[in-house]
Amino acid sequence: MEALKASAKDKPAVSEETGARPVKTDYEMTQEQLAEIYFSAAEKKPQSPPPMIIKVIERPGIASVIPWIITSIAFLITAFSLFSTKRVFVDIKVIDEKSGYFASAEPPAAVVEPEAPVDPGATEVSMRGAMLEGAGRLKSEFSNEGLMLVNTSVAPFARASVQMAPTDLSDRKIVFYARGVRGGEKLGFSLKDKNNNSAFERGKVYPFPDGLSTEWRRAEIPLEGTAKEFNPRKVISMRFEFGSNVDNKAGDTVYVKDLRIV
């Protein structure tokens, strides 16, 4: 390649004597052609055609907005249903607060407070700490003065159990006072011994067969003729039934006080 390049530079363009171009041999002509082809190709820079740029612009259509519209509508419906149909109930119970009804010095006019007879050897049973179960747990209350038993619709039964140490109730009777708010409410009463045996054949008795009155009424439950398996010397529970299982309606309220063993 160096020889071809030097030959191309050193060749005379025109003869000095005749003024004509010298005659070239086939070999020289071939070398010149090869030199022209090679060096002309080397001096030229290859030029590639400019790339073609295609820009695609997508215009948003109604189809791309439909999913967002559906999602927004569903969210609004859900939020509306939650805030319009759901209610939150908060049950607040203050310990050691006296019931307004039992603590009142002047009971309502509809209530006639009878004078409690003097029962010799009577033992008062505290109803504080009574265990509320079933439909009686939501709104019922207990205090040292007595029980306010409210039946609700959250369960088919409602009861309040007064627990105590094993107590001998042989040849004794249970005495308490009860009243209803509207009158006609039912109240069942049962006793359990240490072995969970009921004192009564059908499990409970009804001290007020015709229903409660709006006035205080005295109940006396003797422990005579109890079930054979019941042990009256080891009684551990007194239970008041006031739910729908004793034919009370939701909202029926019963008051009980002055629970004593005579």
8 A C-beta contact, residue 146 and residue 116:
no
What does the pLDDT look like over 139-197, one tens digit per residue?
999 887 799 999 998 888 999 999 999 999 988 999 999 999 999 999 999 999 999 99
Q: Which residues pair with 132 in a beta bridge?
A: 160
How far is it, in rounded angstroms, from Cα 191 to Cα 223?
Answer: 10
CATH fold of 123-261: Jelly Rolls (2.60.120)
What does the pLDDT look like over 243-252, one tens digit per residue?
999 999 999 9
In single-letter form, the type of residue at position 58 comes to E
How far is it, in rounded angstroms, from Cα 155 to Cα 220?
Answer: 29
How far is it, in rounded angstroms, from Cα 239 to Cα 134?
Answer: 13
Q: List the domain boundaries for the chain.
A: 123-261
* Prediction pTM value: 0.57
